[in-house]
């Protein structure tokens, strides 16, 4: 059974940093592209970043480029999102998803950016 478990969310001040983790199980992690998608309170879904499986290609939304860094540890079956220079509009639930077209989703972790 595929499982994706996010952690690391919390309350942070504007300009601060946070690192999210996604622990994966139930599939061959190293081969799977992995993605972060976020959802601001009461709003729709927004793609954030993807890390490819077989290569080391990374992709970012313009809204986070230069501030967020996606990475993965295939030995630990874990995906990360390092978020720096956080802004109030980064407040959202952050979901970890699998594959190029998001076939499985985690339960999400809430990031609140507020002073």
Partner 1 sequence: DIVMTQSPLSLPVTLGQPASISCRSSQSLVHSDGNIYLNWFQQRPGQSPRRLIYEVSNRESGVPDRFSGSGSDTDFTLKISRVEAEDVGVYYCMQGTQWPRTFGQGTKVEIK
- Contact mark string toward partner 1, 48..87, x via CB under 8 A: --x--------x-xx-------------------------
Spatial CA neighbour of 93 closest among 78, 109, 73, 71: 109
Spatial CA neighbour of 45 closest among 105, 86, 4, 3: 105
DSSP helix/strand/coil, 28: coil
> Does 100 engage in binding with partner 1 (CB under 8 A)?
yes
> Does 27 engage in binding with partner 1 (CB under 8 A)?
no
Give me the least distance between CB of 63 and partner 1, in Å please.
9
Among 44, 55, 56, 115, binds partner 1 (CB under 8 A): 44
Give me the least distance between CB of 54 and partner 1, in Å please.
16
d(CA 61, CA 68): 10
Spatial CA neighbour of 96 closest among 27, 13, 42, 14: 27
Q: Applying CB under 8 A, what is the total number of residues that bind partner 1?
A: 20
């Amino acid at each position: 059974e595929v499982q994706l478990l996010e952690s690391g969310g919390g309350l942070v001040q504007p300009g601060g940093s946070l690192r999210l983790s996604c622990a994966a199980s139930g599939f061959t992690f190293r081969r799977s592209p992995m993605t972060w998608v976020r959802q601001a309170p009461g709003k729709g879904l927004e793609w954030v970043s993807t890390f490819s499986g077989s290569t080391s290609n990374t992709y970012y939304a313009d809204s986070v480029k230069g501030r967020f860094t996606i990475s993965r540890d295939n030995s630990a079956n874990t995906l990360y999102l390092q978020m720096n220079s956080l802004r109030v509009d980064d407040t959202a639930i952050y979901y970890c998803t699998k594959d190029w077209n998001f076939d499985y989703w985690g339960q999400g972790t809430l990031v609140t950016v507020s002073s």
